Amino acid sequence: MGDSTSGLPRFSADESFAQCLDGDDPLAAYRDRFLIPTGANGRHIHYLAGNSLGLQPRTVRGYVDRILKDWAERAVDGHFQGDLPWYPFHEMFRDCGARLVGATPGEVVVMNSLTVNLHLMMVSFYRPTRQRYKILIEDPAFPSDSYAVQTQARFHGHDPKDGLVIARPRAGQRVLSHDDIEELLGREGEQIALVMLSGVNFVTGQVLDMARITRAAKRHGCAVGFDLAHAAGNVPLHLHDWDVDFAVWCNYKYLNSGPGAVGACFVHQRHHAAVDLPRFAGWWGNDPATRFRMQLETQFVPRISAEGWQVSNPPILAMAPVKASYDIFDEVGMDALRVKSQTLTAYMQFLLDELADSSFDVITPRVTDQRGCQLSLALHRRSRELLDLLHTEGVVCDFREPNIIRAAPVPLYNSFYDVWAFVNTLSKLLRR
C-alpha cells in the first residue's frame, strides 16, 4: 500500500496499475513535449537520469533556428529587430525565472555557469574578517562547490582545514540532521561568515529545510547561499520569503536546457541597491541607460537588480534552450509538478520495497517532503555492472562512486510505466 498518511494512493505492483496511473495523470500530455531517445529495438528508453541531464524540449530547435535565421538575415540588426531581439533577450527570464524559484521580478538572472556564478556571489557575500571567516558546507557536497569554497578560503588567506566547517551525517546515517546543523551553528556561528549548502543533496536526494537553516544562520549573523543544481525545477522554492541572500543553479538537469547550459543566479532584492557591495563588474551588469556610452563612462554603475552582477552580454544561442524549457515550467507550475513528483517517487519506493531484496538500500529519506524526484540505491555488490546491464535493457539511470545508482522519475516527461519498468528490470537483473 502507498503512503496514505500523505494523501498518496494505495499502490499495486501489477503492470496494469502503472498503466492506469498514467491514464489518470493530468500531466501525461507533457511527455510528448520532449524528445525521448529510442533504444536498439526502436522503442523509447526508460530515461531516469533527468537529475544529470534533462531531455530536450521539442521547441528548442525552433528557437535556435529563429536566432540563426535572424543572424543570417539581419546580422548586427538582430540585436534590436525581429520577434526575439538579442539585446533584451536575458530580460525574458526576469518574471518566469522568479516564479520558478519563488523570487520577485529582478531577483533572478540567467548567466554564466553554476560555479562561475558561485564565485561571483562569494566575491560579494563571503567577506571574511579576523573573527568571522569560516564557510559551512555539507558532506558530501558537490565537488565543484567544495573546490570553489576551498579556493575562496585560500584566496582570502585561510587554510581550508581551518576555514571550512563541515556538516556531516551522524554515525551510521546517510542524511543530515537539521537539529545537528542548528547545533553546529550555535556552536560556531559567530565564526561562520557564509553558510553554503545544497538545496537538495546530489548523492542522497535529501531536500534540506532551507527556510529553517536560513533562519538559524541569520540568528548568528551569517550570510546564506544555496546551490540549487538539484533543487531548481525539482521542488518548490520560496527564496525571497525565506530571506536567502543568494542562490545559484544550473539549467541542464531538471530544467532541460541542454548539456553545459547557461546557469542562473538569485540575489535578494535588499542587496540590489548596495552599490558599495564588492563585486566583479563587467559590461552588461551596468545600468542600461549608460550601457552604450562605453568609453564615456569610466565608472561602473550597476543595474539595480540581480542583473547588476552580470559581467558579459548573454550568449543568445546558448540561452535559446533555456527559453524553451522555462516556457514549459511557467505553463505547468511547480506546485502541479510537485504533486506528480511525490506520487511518482512514492510509487518507486513502494515497488522497491516490494522486492524485499537485501542487495541494496535506499538511502534517500522516506518522508515525501524530505526528498525530490530521486531515489538513491546503495548497492552491496556489482553496482557498476548492474548500471550497465540496466542500460542494455533500455533503462537509463546514473551512478555515483562508490556504489550509488540514482534513479530520477521526472514529472514532466517520466511515466508511471517508466518507474514500473525500472523496478521490474532491476528485479530480473538482481535474480540472475
CATH number of residue 369's parent domain: 3.90.1150.10
Continuous segment of H or E residues that includes residue 179: helix 178-188
Name the region of 294 (left: φ>0; alpha: ψ -120 to 50; beta: rest): left
Burial class of residue 163 in the structure, from the number of CB atoms within 10 Å of its CB (0-12 exposed, 13-18 middle, 19+ buried): buried
Does residue 70 fall inside a structural domain? no
Does residue 79 fall inside a structural domain? no
Please report, for the chain, how many H helices and E strands are present, in that order.
13, 15
In DSSP terms, 109 is beta-bridged to 265
Same domain, 313 and 348: no
Same domain, 277 and 363: no
Same domain, 141 and 231: yes
Same domain, 132 and 225: yes
Question: Closest Cα partner for 126 from 210, 245, 274?
Answer: 245
- φ, ψ of residue 200 in degrees (nearest 5): -130, 125
Q: Over its length of 432 residues, how does the chain's per-residue pLDDT go in tens digits?
A: 334 345 788 999 999 999 999 999 999 999 999 999 999 888 999 999 999 999 999 999 999 999 999 999 999 999 999 989 999 999 999 999 999 999 999 999 999 999 999 999 999 999 999 999 999 999 999 999 999 999 999 999 999 999 999 999 999 999 999 999 999 999 999 999 999 999 999 999 999 999 999 999 999 999 999 999 999 999 999 999 999 999 999 999 999 999 999 999 999 999 999 988 999 998 899 988 888 887 888 888 899 999 999 999 999 999 999 999 999 999 999 999 999 999 999 999 999 999 999 999 999 999 999 999 999 999 999 899 999 999 999 999 999 999 999 999 999 999 999 999 999 999 999 988
- Our count of domains for the chain comes to 2
Beta pairing, strands 46-47 & 395-396: parallel
Q: Whole-structure pTM over 0.85, yes or no?
A: yes
Does residue 357 fall inside a structural domain? yes
Same domain, 345 and 319: no
Domain boundary among 331, 346, 365: 331
Domain boundary among 273, 303, 331: 331
Q: Which domain holds residue 401?
A: 4-56+334-431
